[in-house]
Structures are given as structure tokens and as C-alpha cells.
Amino acid sequence: MGAELLDGKKLAAEMRAEIRRKVAELKASKQIEPGLGVLLVGENPASVSYVTAKEKACAEAGILSKEIRLPATATQDEIVAVVRQFNADPQIHGILVQLPLPKGIDENAVIETISPEKDVDGFTPVNIGRMMIGLPSFLPCTPHGIIRMLLKAGVETAGKHAVVIGRSNIVGKPVAHLLSRKALGGNATVTICHTRTCDLASYTRNADILVVAAGHANTVTGDMVKPGAVVIDVGVNRVPDATFPRGYRLCGDVDFESVSRVASLLTPVPGGVGPLTITMLLFNTLEAASRAAGDSAAV
Ligand code: GUN
């Protein structure tokens, strides 16, 4: 029996229509156009394509996006100066510094410069800290998108064993927190696995919900998955393939073919988690603009 696919594109389209409606409402009632400041440093092809997709999504939602590009040789001071410029710009309600930053740049120092009220990625210590102690905060986009997908699909998380592979600040750590917190889409018992985990399969085989954010293709194969598990594949890997127009194809961290024969629900790559990540960025930018206008827009 094959797994049912979790259609991220469809859910994202529904949520984006609602966001677009609320953006129009905010413009009409408060004459405020939500604005996102985007900083891209260097020309990492994956980052360029993410930023392009995010800006296109902003335009479709009626959100202004202002992009600043710096060369890969930019200094820490030049990068921080752009963030400060966005912090001070009243047209900008949200700031996106596309990660990773080039080698030699202190990423945490850059993130700490982002004003927490404009931190629509939810990466600053203030927002992470507020999230951890259950205060209102901007939630990191990919983890928040994953929870929304699980809720939409009617997946019960309470009392379930969720295994997260990966401990990054962007996905692994925050999604583990959201799955375990005392809230809707939470209340799971969570195990975090990482590069130093011994016998990874012994954990994954016990997962009711498996979130794979390892950053490597084929990290999880069908024999590592409990029959009927829900598998969320966060990976985006480029695999050279001459039969594709761009010379590569995208695949996740999960071996789709073998895992889809064992799991009950599975996110495809592309078309699974990715569209939700961008949607939650729009959501947070609308929220930031609404807060600036003295409202809260929760979609
Ligand atoms: N790089 C990979 N994912 C993300 C993300 O969600 N936000 C930012 N700013 N950079 C990323």
C-alpha cells in the first residue's frame, strides 16, 4: 500500500489566498502595505532560487519586497549596516537575511542585529526565547509550516513519538520544541537525532511521526520507517540529472520510493514542506505589519 502524499502546494495556495485577502484589508483600513526587506549575500544558487521564490510570493500576496544584494566578499560591517537600514525603514515590517551567509561572517551576530519586531524568520534570541517559554513570538517558518501541515492532515501529535533528524537552529531545534510544547500540534514525546546518533534506525523505527531535516539525500530508507508512520521530508538536495532542463533534479532527505511503500503519509519534494515555509514567511510579515498598525492579523 502506498503512502498518501501531503500536498503542501494546495495548502499553501489556500493559506496564501487568505493572506492576500488580509493584506488588502490592511491596506484599505489602515493604508499600510506590508513590506519585507530581503538581504542576499553572495550567489549560492539555492539561496538565489529561494529568495526569488519568496519575492514572487510576496508580489502575489500584495506584499512589498525590497531586495538588497551584496557580493560574497561583503564584510560583517557591510552586512550589519543593511540590517540596520531595514530596521530603520518604516516601509519594512519584516526582515529576511537569507542563510547561510558566506564563510567568515558571524551569522549569529548578524541575526542579533535584526529588530525582534521585524524578525519574521523567528531566528533572533528574543523570538526563540519567547517561543521556548510560551510567549507570543514569530515562529520559524519551516517548523511552523510543518505543524500547520500536520494539523491540516488531521494527524494527532499528542502522546505520539516524534523523531526529528537534525538539530539546526532553522529546523531541527525549533520543530522539536513545537512538537513537544503544550499546544495544538504539540504534546508529542520527541527524540532528536543528529550526526553523532548511534544506530539511527533504532530510533526512526519507533517514530510515529518522523521529521527528516538532515541535509543529505537518502538519510532515511523504507526499512528505517515504522509501517504507517507520518514522514515529513524537509530536505532539498540537487542531484545531477541530464534528463532535466536545468541539469539537476530536486530530491529530499528521504528515499521516496522505498519510504512511500511503508509510511501512511509522506511529503513530496518538491511540493511538500517548501511551499509552506514561504507561506509562513508571508504570514509573519503580515502579522508584523498588523502589529505595527496596532492590530493582530492571525490567519
Ligand atoms: N535558509 C534556509 N532556510 C531558510 C529560512 O527559512 N530563512 C532564511 N533566512 N534562510 C534560510
Q: Has residue 98 been placed in a domain?
A: yes
* Identity of the amino acid at 66: K
Residue 2 falls inside a structural domain? no
pLDDT in tens, 47-57: 999 999 999 99
Phi, psi of 61 (to 5 degrees): -90, -5
Exposure letters 258-294 (e unless 16+ CB within 10 A, then b): bbbebbbbbbbbebbbbbbbbbbbbbbbbbbbbbbbe
Summarize pLDDT for 127-153 with one digit per residue, the tens: 999 999 999 999 999 999 999 999 999
Query: Does 153 lie in the same domain as 52?
Result: no
Query: Is position 284 within any domain?
Result: no
Domains of the chain: total: 2
Q: Would residue 245 count as lying in a domain? A: yes
| CATH code (residue 110) | 3.40.50.10860
The verdict on 220 and 151 lying in the same domain is yes
The C-alpha cell at 68 is 538588497
Q: CB of 82 within 8 A of CB of 55?
A: no
**Whether 147 and 262 share a structural domain:** yes
Q: How far is the CA of 2 from the centre of ligand 1 (A)?
A: 31
The answer to whether residues 101 and 215 belong to one domain is no
Residue identified by cell 543593511 is 82
Average pLDDT over residues 86-114: 98
Task: Indicate which CATH number applies to the domain containing 178.
Answer: 3.40.50.720
Positions annotated as catalytic residues are 54, 98, 121
pLDDT tops 60 at residue 245: yes
Average pLDDT over residues 6-26: 98
Share of the chain above pLDDT 90, in %: 97
Q: What range defines the domain where residue 261 resides? A: 141-275
Predicted TM-score (pTM) of the model is 0.97
The answer on 204 and 81 residing in a single domain is: no
Q: Which atom of ligand 1 is nearest the CA belonging to 142?
A: 6
pLDDT mean over 146-173: 98
**Averaged pLDDT of the chain:** 97
Ligand 1 centroid to residue 98 C-alpha, Å: 5
Both 155 and 53 in one domain: the answer is: no
Ligand 1 in reach of 277 Cβ (< 6 A) = yes
The pLDDT assigned to 296 comes to 73
Q: Which of 107, 170, 273, 277 to mutate to test the pocket of ligand 1 (most atoms within 8 A of CB)?
A: 170
- Kindly tell me if the per-residue pLDDT of 298 is higher than 70: no
pLDDT confidence bin for 295, thresholds 50/70/90? confident
Q: Is residue 91 part of a domain?
A: yes
Is residue 80 situated within a structural domain?
Answer: yes
Task: Please check whether residues 76 and 194 belong to one and the same domain.
Answer: no
CA-nearest residue, atom 4 of ligand 1 = 99
Task: Among 121, 128, 138, 171, name the best residue to mutate to test ligand 1's pocket (greatest count of ligand atoms within 8 A of Cβ).
Answer: 121
Return the residue whose CA atom lies nearest to atom 9 of ligand 1. 98
